[in-house]
Amino acid sequence: MSRKDEDTKATEATVAEERIQTGRRGFLGAAGLVIGAGVVSTLPGCGPKPADSTPTPPATPTPTPEPAGGGAHASNEVPPGQLDTYYGLWSGGQSGEIRIVGVPSMRELKRIPVFNRDSATGWGRDDFSKQLLGNRESGDTHHVHPSYHGGTYDGRFIFVNDKAGGRVARVRCDTMECDHIVTVPFGHGTHGIFPQRHHTGLVFCNSEFQAPLPIPGTNPQDPHTYSALHTAIDGETMELKWQVLVDGNMDLCATDYEGKYSFATCYNSERGAHLADMMAAEKDFLYVFNLARITAAVAAGTDVIRLGDSPVPVVDARNANSPYVLRIPVPKSPHGVNVSPDGKYAIALGKLSPTASIVEIAKLDAAFAGTIQPIACIVAEPELGLGPLHTAFDGRGNAYTSIFIDSVICKWNIAKAIAAHTDDTIDPIVQKIDVHYQVGHTNASMSETKDADGKWLIALCKFSKDRFLNVGPLHPENDQLIDISGERMVLMHDGPTYPEPHDCVMVERSIINPIKMMTRNGPRFDMYEAWAREDGITLLTDTRVIRKSDTSVRVYMTSRAPSFALTEFNVKQGDSVQIIVTNQDSVEDLTHGFCMTHHDVNFVVNPQDTRSMTFVADRPGMFWYYCPWFCHALHLEMRGRMFVEARA
The footprint of ligand K7E (CB under 6 A) covers 46, 142-143, 191, 252, 335, 389-390, 440-441, 502-503
Q: How far apart are CA 393 and CA 192, in angstroms?
A: 19
629 binds, among ligand K7E, ligand CUA, none (CB under 5 to 8 A by kind): ligand CUA
Stretch in the footprint of ligand CUA (CB under 6 A) among 466-474, 497-505, 512-520, 624-632: 624-632
143 binds, among ligand K7E, ligand CUA, none (CB under 5 to 8 A by kind): ligand K7E
Three-class SS state of 521:
coil
| Nearer CB in complex with ligand CUA: 25/592 | 592
| Nearer CB in complex with ligand K7E: 440/607 | 440
Q: How far apart are CA 562 and CA 557, in angstroms?
A: 14
Read off φ and ψ for residue 290, nearest 5 degrees: -90, 100
* Distance in Å, CB of 251 to ligand K7E, minimum: 8
Compute the Cα dihedral for 32, 37, 39, 43 and give only its sign: positive
191 binds, among ligand CUA, ligand K7E, none (CB under 5 to 8 A by kind): ligand K7E
Q: Is 631 in the site for ligand CUA (CB under 6 A)?
A: yes
Q: Is 561 in the site for ligand CUA (CB under 6 A)?
A: yes
Whether the CB-CB separation of 66 and 37 falls below 8 Å is answered with no
Compute the Cα dihedral for 32, 34, 36, 38 and give only its sign: negative
Instruction: Give the per-residue SS3 of 543-594.
Output: CEEEEEECCEEEEEEEEECCEECCCEEEEECCCEEEEEEEECCCCCCCCEEE
* Distance in Å, CB of 516 to ligand CUA, minimum: 17
| Nearer CB in complex with ligand CUA: 243/558 | 558
**Letter for the amino acid at 172?**
R
Stretch in the footprint of ligand CUA (CB under 6 A) among 92-100, 406-414, 481-489, 623-631: 623-631
| Nearer CB in complex with ligand CUA: 520/635 | 635
DSSP codes of every residue in 220-280: TT-GGG-BEEEEEEETTT--EEEEEEESSEEEEEEE-SSSSEEEEEEE-TT--SSHHHHT-
Question: Is 423 exposed, middle or buried, given 0-12, 13-18 or 19+ CB atoms closer than 10 A?
Answer: exposed
Whether the CB-CB separation of 28 and 56 falls below 8 Å is answered with yes
| Nearer CB in complex with ligand K7E: 164/372 | 164
Task: Give the number of C-alpha atoms closer than 13 A to the C-alpha of residue 33, restricted to the C-beta side.
Answer: 13
502 binds, among ligand CUA, ligand K7E, none (CB under 5 to 8 A by kind): ligand K7E
* Distance in Å, CB of 561 to ligand CUA, minimum: 5
| Nearer CB in complex with ligand K7E: 315/435 | 435
Query: Of 502, 592, 599, 611, which one interacts with ligand CUA (CB under 6 A)?
Result: 592
DSSP codes of every residue in 129-161: HHHHHTT-----B--EEEEEETTEEEEEEEEEE
Query: Of 638, 640, 642, 644, which one interacts with ligand CUA (CB under 6 A)?
Result: 638
Quick note: the x/- pattern for ligand CUA over 508-547, rule CB under 6 A, is: ----------------------------------------
* Distance in Å, CB of 607 to ligand CUA, minimum: 11
* Distance in Å, CB of 628 to ligand CUA, minimum: 7
**Letter for the amino acid at 147?**
S
Order of strands across the sheet with 398-403?
A: 388-393, 398-403, 408-413, 429-434
Count Cβ atoms below 10 Å from residue 546 Cβ, excluding itself. 15
Q: How far apart are CA 161 and CA 390, in angstroms?
A: 17
Query: Of 15, 627, 642, 644, which one interacts with ligand CUA (CB under 6 A)?
Result: 627
* Distance in Å, CB of 161 to ligand K7E, minimum: 8
Q: Is 560 in the site for ligand CUA (CB under 6 A)?
A: no
| Nearer CB in complex with ligand CUA: 268/608 | 608
| Nearer CB in complex with ligand CUA: 198/639 | 639
503 binds, among ligand CUA, ligand K7E, none (CB under 5 to 8 A by kind): ligand K7E
Q: Is 629 in the site for ligand CUA (CB under 6 A)?
A: yes
Whether the CB-CB separation of 291 and 264 falls below 8 Å is answered with no
| Nearer CB in complex with ligand K7E: 229/297 | 229
| Nearer CB in complex with ligand CUA: 532/561 | 561
| Nearer CB in complex with ligand CUA: 456/629 | 629
Whether the CB-CB separation of 560 and 585 falls below 8 Å is answered with yes
514 binds, among ligand K7E, ligand CUA, none (CB under 5 to 8 A by kind): none
What sections of 374-440 are H helices per DSSP? Answer: 414-420
Q: Is 635 in the site for ligand CUA (CB under 6 A)?
A: yes
* Distance in Å, CB of 608 to ligand CUA, minimum: 14
Stretch in the footprint of ligand CUA (CB under 6 A) among 289-297, 374-382, 413-421, 628-636: 628-636
Q: How far apart are CA 159 and CA 143, in angstroms?
A: 8
142 binds, among ligand CUA, ligand K7E, none (CB under 5 to 8 A by kind): ligand K7E
627 binds, among ligand K7E, ligand CUA, none (CB under 5 to 8 A by kind): ligand CUA
Q: How far apart are CA 251 and CA 47, in angstroms?
A: 12
In 3D space, the residue among 436, 494, 432, 486 whose CA is nearest the CA of residue 456 turns out to be: 486
Which residues are CB-neighbours of 367 under 8 A, at least 6 positions away? 326, 328, 373, 374, 376, 377
Stretch in the footprint of ligand CUA (CB under 6 A) among 55-63, 73-81, 449-457, 626-634: 626-634
| Nearer CB in complex with ligand K7E: 386/537 | 386
Which residues are CB-neighbours of 221 under 8 A, at least 6 positions away? none
* Distance in Å, CB of 457 to ligand K7E, minimum: 15
In 3D space, the residue among 435, 433, 394, 442 whose CA is nearest the CA of residue 414 turns out to be: 394
* Distance in Å, CB of 587 to ligand CUA, minimum: 12
Whether the CB-CB separation of 149 and 199 falls below 8 Å is answered with yes
417 binds, among ligand K7E, ligand CUA, none (CB under 5 to 8 A by kind): none
Which residues are CB-neighbours of 209 under 8 A, at least 6 positions away? 188, 189, 228, 249
| Nearer CB in complex with ligand K7E: 377/506 | 506
Distance of CA 449 to the CA centre of its chain: 17
335 binds, among ligand CUA, ligand K7E, none (CB under 5 to 8 A by kind): ligand K7E
Residues that bind ligand CUA (CB under 6 A): 561-562, 592, 627, 629-631, 635, 638
